[in-house]
Structure 1
Amino acid sequence: MDRRSERFSVTTYTHRGDLPADALAGASAVAIDSETMGLRLGRDPLCVVQLSDGGGDAHVVQLDRATYDAPNLKRLLTDPGVLKLFHFGRFDIAMFWLHLGVVTAPVYCTKIASKLARTYTDRHGLKDVTKELLNVDLSKVQQSSDWGAADLSEEQVAYAASDVMHLHALRQRLDQMLVREGRDGLARACFEFLPHRALLDVAGWEDVDIFAHS
């Protein structure tokens, strides 16, 4: 059964199995993140996908790991008219291919944008970027928790929602910096290649830089 909760002025809708067909309808860009049982491709299952269109709501989908039958979510991930915003999308895109069988595109990654724009620092985690650019402190307490549990706690749901609520604003700020530094074209090229980089990870080149000399 779907569930709605309100916390910190954010309305969060939780769903089991799939995103409702009418959720996020008309959105041109959707922020997306996922929660898994670990960070190893092929070993750790995909458990939760959270999404937001930037309008103050978040949708947290607890997937059916027995079937991964989520046609509405898959349709959104592959919709060419909807830009999917991620932070380190490389991992999420690889997980979606492994478990949902779809190649996510088109995409935008705030971590890539940060690395291209914020060359004055090596701190490109979501918490660091959000704090500097938006002056928002994100809690990472629930980052390492049991996302495969039958029922998610309120804290887990709030954490999942918080990871997508600020990506739209981050994209706007990072785009301004990329244009200012003359790197927006390079960023777009990286975003276009990102799904292919994720597929290379799945195919076994996860720890190999194919562009390196040796």
Structure 2
Amino acid sequence: MSVTQFMPNATIHLHQGDLPDGISLGASVAVDTETMGLEPHRDRLCLVQLSAGDGTAHLVQIIPSRLGGHGADCPNLKRLMSDTGVVKLMHFARFDVAILQHALGITVAPIKCTKIAAKLVRTFTDRHGLAQLSRELLGVEMSKQQQTSDWGARDLSPEQLAYAASDVLHLHALWSRLEALLIREQRLDLAEACFAFMPARARLDLLGYEVPDIFAH
């Protein structure tokens, strides 16, 4: 089942269970996730947000069988997330890749992460959150009021859907600004190497190598 919600300058499509057949989001898709918490082995994946950067967000609600859904039986979403011909734009990809790989049983690649990009070129600040970057680089104000709401509910509120969509609607524009800064500072190759390592970094996290970090002394 799909539900459409309109908000100023954006359209939100909520799909319960999977993306519709035949949908195309282009060569690069912005991706974010909402979960019950920050521990992939404990906290379930509830929502996957997607946007082609065209002012439209597609939200896929992952509903477990006990709540009347099909859980991780979402072949269209899995196909898109594992498609090596489609770049996935994320902010703090380390978590999103880990939860997607754990919940869906796939490898998510290729990836570009705006948080890593920001940390590589904005060394004059420690403010690398999505809201701060959107404000400073795009002039876009983002509300984080719904960030800690209950994403496991069977019915999500209009406010939750608007918040979830906002996390992907501007990622293409943000990546464009950050890519230009990476090129200016001659760190694009380093960023790309970090992005290529992300699926393996996520697997290490899922295996428990987050602490201690195997790259530490």
C-alpha separation in 2, matches of 1:132 and 1:26: 27
| Matching residue's letter, 1:4 | T
Q: Give the whole-Å Cα distance in 1 for the aligned partners of 2:132 and 2:212.
A: 27
Q: State the 1:5 CA deviation.
A: 1.1
The answer as to 2:101 corresponding to 1:101 is no
Distance 1:156 1:207 in 2: 32
Q: Which residue of 2 aligns with 1:22?
A: 22
- Deviation of 1:91 after TM superposition, in Å, equals 0.6
2:2 and 2:210 mapped to 1: Cα distance?
36
Distance, in Å, in 1 between the alignment partners of 2:181 and 2:9 is 29
Equivalent position to 1:76, from 59, 77, 80 = 80
Note the C-alpha offset of 1:97. Answer: 1.4
Secondary structure in 1 aligned to 2:40? coil
Aligned counterparts of 1:117 and 1:95: Cα–Cα separation in 2:
27
Counting only pairs closer than 5 Å after superposition, residues 95-134 of structure 1 correspond to structure 2 as: 95-134=99-138
Map 1:49-198 → 2, pairs under 5 A: 49-66=48-65, 67-198=71-202
Number of residues of Structure 1 aligned to a counterpart in Structure 2: 212
Cα separation, 1, equivalents of 2:149 and 2:172: 26
CA offsets per residue over residues 44-102 of structure 1, 9 Å max, x none?
A: 11000000000111001111223311100000001111000000011111111111001
Which residue pairs with 2:30 in the alignment? 31
Greater shift after overlay, 83-92 or 62-71? 62-71
Structure 1 outlier segments of 4+, above 3 Å:
none
8 Å Cα contact 2:25-2:52 kept in structure 1: no
Q: Which runs of 5+ in 1 are unaligned?
A: none
Q: Which runs of 5+ in 2 are unaligned?
A: 66-70
| Separation of aligned partners in 2, 1:41 and 1:79 | 22
Secondary structure at 1:204's aligned position in 2?
Answer: coil
The residue number in structure 2 matching 1:204 is 208
What is the CA–CA distance in structure 2 between the aligned matches of 1:68 and 1:107, rounded to whole Å? 21
Q: Scaled by the length of structure 2, what TM-score is found?
A: 0.95
Quote how far apart the aligned CAs of 1:209 are: 2.4
Structure 2 distance, partners of 1:172, 1:22, is 27
The 2-side partners of 1:194 and 1:148 are apart by 27
User: Does the CA contact (< 8 Å) of 1:46 and 1:65 recur in 2?
Assistant: no
Which stretch of the first structure deviates more once superposed, 152-161 or 56-65?
56-65
Aligned partner of residue 175 in structure 1, secondary structure: helix
Identity of aligned residues (%): 57
Output the amino acid matched with 1:166: H
Scaled by the length of structure 1, the TM-score of the pair is 0.97
Aligned-residue Cα RMSD (Å) equals 0.9
- Distance in 1 (CA, whole Å) between partners of 2:16 and 2:2 is 6
CA change 1:11–1:26 in 2 (3 A) is closer
